[in-house]
């Protein structure tokens, strides 16, 4: 059960669109939201009221003494009200989740209800028509808001199926009306035939004034049977793709596939709750993604079966073009550089990963002097490193210690706790994660979570956290002992993660990379890039590996904004404004001090 919670979209391409939507022209960001929410509330209330009223009405007459109500043909429309309102109520919850199929079904259902209300003033009479029209118009104008597409679901196929179904029903209704007219010598004018054929789409007719009661009821029953049959066929065809792609829905298969084919150190983080999963319809492949600022941000690289790289990348680009989104591969290894550049994407170096070739790594020599000193000091104090193997039994003390250290760390980090490219502890669903911790005098003072990649040939130190009062060497001891343990089990590479914007400029660098370098050099006030590099450099890595951005479009500022919002979605702008204010205050204070010194 906990594994299921780790994947938000085991059966869907979840599309959490947050860009401004097309529609009402004034203050879109606020007013569209209010109109949309009001439409949701009205839809829920009206659907619930109609279900209740229609059910009460039907039960009342079915159990009443007088069943002659059937001679009023419009009473049959109450069954349609009940059916459509039930449909609205059922798909309402998916509509709120922005699912595209629910949006299209809702528009179709509202169109039928509006037409039926105009033909007949039923429950609550004419007053429902303006409400339906309001809901319909608001939903229609906010078309861009509903972008959560299910696997295999295509809007054009849905609309074609809908139009074909309506055409078939209309044609059948014409044939039925003409046949009935000739059979009983009604001599109906063409406008009456077309009117009844149109009414047949909604399961009603006005031929009761021409036909005997028993004949009319048989005629009405025929209309209903053809309508129900046509709608069942339509829904079966239009919504069939929702229930396909069974291999994608098997969570264990997804995990195994990512471990075996995920070459990027961040691939396993696709299973984290803050990521959505896009499954390929053409090859066996997937990516973890998030949509911010109109950019489809992919975590790392594609995870795909061998030979399907080009096909999957083309599919992603087509999908983003269709959805009017830019695309960004964030923290890519460059594994698919040739394919990405050939399809028109731009490249910029993003930083370097701190890498340890485990066969070559040890604590000897000048390279590892700092970490060797730190580890020796911690050992003299009595610090010990152990692995927490959850599969062998849960330990409440260890897990509570991890949580306490994490809570203190989050409190210290505040609104700038990084997401998306950093995972979580996942103690409830550890899967293939490895947990190591250091302990001193019976107190856990630090822990590290290692995550596998490249079929367990490599492990990245995804989470490194320490107690505020932990001595020097608490983390360093875990990193070294952890890597050595994993090496003994067959791991070839250790990874301390990315140093963002580090060493991004060379003689061939373009404007964008030079701009990133300026951020690295001048904006340590907002994020201490240099301190992060120094903290990883002290471990004495055997090599550094380049990491890249691959992106579409010419607006690099939009791409940078998407990167920031991906990593820091919570209270980001509040934090930035606070930092800018502090920066200005420091500048003013420095200038005043300088003036005072001169005086």
Domain boundaries, the chain: 33-243, 254-345, 353-503+526-545, 571-598
Question: What tokens were used for 486?
Answer: 């994993």
- Check for a shared fold between 254-345 and 353-503+526-545: yes
What confidence score (pLDDT) does residue 129 get? 81
**What is the per-residue pLDDT for 358?**
94
Rounded CA separation 530/575 (Å): 20
Question: Model's pTM, two decimal places?
Answer: 0.60
Structure tokens at 560: 């940078």
Name the burial class of residue 134, with classes exposed (0-12), middle (13-18) and buried (19+) by CB atoms within 10 angstroms of its CB.
middle
Mean pLDDT per 10-residue interval, the chain, length 599 residues? 37 34 34 77 81 61 45 50 70 76 80 75 63 88 67 59 74 77 79 80 71 70 66 61 47 82 90 84 88 91 90 91 89 93 93 94 86 92 94 92 90 69 84 93 95 92 90 93 95 94 84 88 76 88 94 90 81 60 63 57
Which position has the token pair 């990133």?
A: 516
Give all strands (DSSP E) within 8-153, no chain letters: 12-13, 149-150
Do residues 562 and 295 touch, judged by C-beta distance below 8 A?
Answer: yes
Q: Which CATH architecture has domain 353-503+526-545?
A: 3-Layer(aba) Sandwich (3.40)
Angle at 562 between CA 579 and CA 335, to 5 degrees: 125
In 3-state terms the chain splits into helix, strand, coil percentages (rounded to 5) of 55, 15, 30
Query: What pLDDT was estimated at residue 14?
Result: 34
3-state secondary structure of 436: strand
Alpha-carbon gap, residue 312 to 478, rounded angstroms: 39
Alpha-carbon distance 584 to 578, whole Å?
10
pLDDT of amino acid 591 = 61
- For residue 313, the surrounding DSSP H or E stretch is helix 309-322
Find the helix packing angle between 155-183 and 213-238, rounded to 10°.
160
Topology annotation, domain 254-345: Aminopeptidase (3.40.630)
pLDDT of residue 572: 60
Residue-level pLDDT at 423? 83
- Radius of gyration (C-alpha) of the chain in whole angstroms: 32
Sign of CA dihedral 301, 304, 310, 311: negative
What was the pLDDT predicted at 19? 32
Q: How many residues does the chain have?
A: 599
């Amino acid at each position: 059960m906990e594994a299921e919670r780790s994947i938000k979209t085991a059966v869907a391409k979840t599309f959490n669109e947050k860009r401004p939507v097309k529609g009402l022209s004034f203050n879109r960001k606020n007013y569209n939201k209010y109109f949309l929410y009001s439409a949701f509330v009205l839809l829920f209330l009206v659907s619930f009221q109609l279900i209740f009223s229609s059910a009460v009405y039907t039960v009342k007459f079915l159990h009443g003494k007088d069943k002659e109500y059937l001679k009023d043909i419009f009473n049959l429309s109450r069954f349609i009200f009940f059916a459509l309102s039930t449909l609205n109520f059922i798909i309402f919850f998916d509509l709120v989740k922005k699912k595209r199929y629910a949006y299209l079904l809702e528009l179709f259902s509202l169109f039928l209800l509006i037409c039926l209300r105009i033909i007949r003033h039923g429950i609550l009479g004419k007053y429902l028509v303006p409400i339906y029209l309001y809901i319909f118009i608001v939903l229609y104008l906010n078309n861009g808001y509903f972008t959560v597409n299910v696997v295999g679901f295509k809007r054009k196929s849905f609309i074609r199926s809908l139009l074909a179904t309506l055409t078939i029903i209309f044609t059948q209704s014409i044939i039925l009306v003409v046949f009935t007219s000739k059979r009983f010598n009604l001599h109906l004018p063409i406008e009456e035939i077309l009117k009844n054929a149109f009414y047949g789409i909604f399961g009603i007719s006005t031929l009761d004034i021409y036909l005997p009661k028993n004949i009319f009821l048989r005629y009405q029953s025929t209309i209903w049977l053809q309508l129900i049959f046509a709608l069942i066929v339509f829904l079966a065809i239009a919504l069939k793709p929702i229930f396909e792609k069974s291999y994608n829905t098997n969570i264990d298969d997804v995990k195994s596939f990512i471990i075996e084919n995920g070459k990027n150190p961040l691939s396993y983080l696709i299973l984290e709750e803050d990521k959505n999963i896009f499954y390929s319809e053409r090859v066996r492949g997937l990516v973890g993604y998030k949509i911010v600022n109109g950019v489809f941000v992919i975590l790392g690289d594609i995870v795909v079966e061998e030979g399907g790289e080009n096909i999957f990348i083309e599919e992603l680009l087509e999908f983003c073009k269709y959805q009017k989104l830019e695309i960004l591969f964030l923290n890519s290894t460059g594994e698919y550089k040739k394919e990405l550049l050939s399809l028109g994407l731009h490249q910029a170096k993003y930083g370097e990963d701190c890498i340890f070739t485990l066969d070559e790594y040890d604590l000897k020599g000048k390279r590892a002097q700092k970490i060797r000193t730190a580890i020796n000091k911690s050992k003299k104090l009595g610090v010990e490193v152990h692995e927490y193997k959850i599969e062998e039994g849960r330990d409440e003390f260890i897990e509570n210690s991890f949580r306490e250290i994490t809570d203190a760390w989050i409190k210290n980090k505040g609104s700038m706790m990084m997401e998306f490219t950093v995972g979580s502890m996942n103690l409830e669903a550890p899967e293939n994660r490895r947990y190591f911790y250091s302990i001193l005098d019976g107190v856990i003072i630090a822990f590290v979570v290692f995550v596998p990649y490249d079929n367990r040939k490599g492990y990245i130190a995804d989470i490194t956290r320490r107690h505020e009062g932990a001595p020097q060497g608490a983390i360093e001891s875990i990193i070294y002992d952890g890597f050595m343990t994993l090496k003994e089990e067959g791991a070839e590479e250790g990874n301390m993660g990315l140093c963002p914007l580090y060493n991004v400029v060379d003689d061939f660098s373009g404007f964008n990379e030079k701009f990133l370098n300026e951020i690295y050099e001048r904006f340590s006030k907002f994020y201490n890039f240099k301190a992060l590099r120094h903290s990883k450099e002290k471990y004495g890595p055997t090599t550094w590996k380049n990491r890249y951005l691959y992106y579409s479009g010419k607006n690099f500022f939009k791409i940078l904004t998407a990167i920031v919002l991906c990593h820091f979605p919570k209270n980001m702008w509040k934090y930035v404004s606070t930092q800018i204010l502090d920066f200005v205050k420091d500048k003013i204070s420095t200038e005043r001090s300088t003036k005072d010194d001169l005086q």
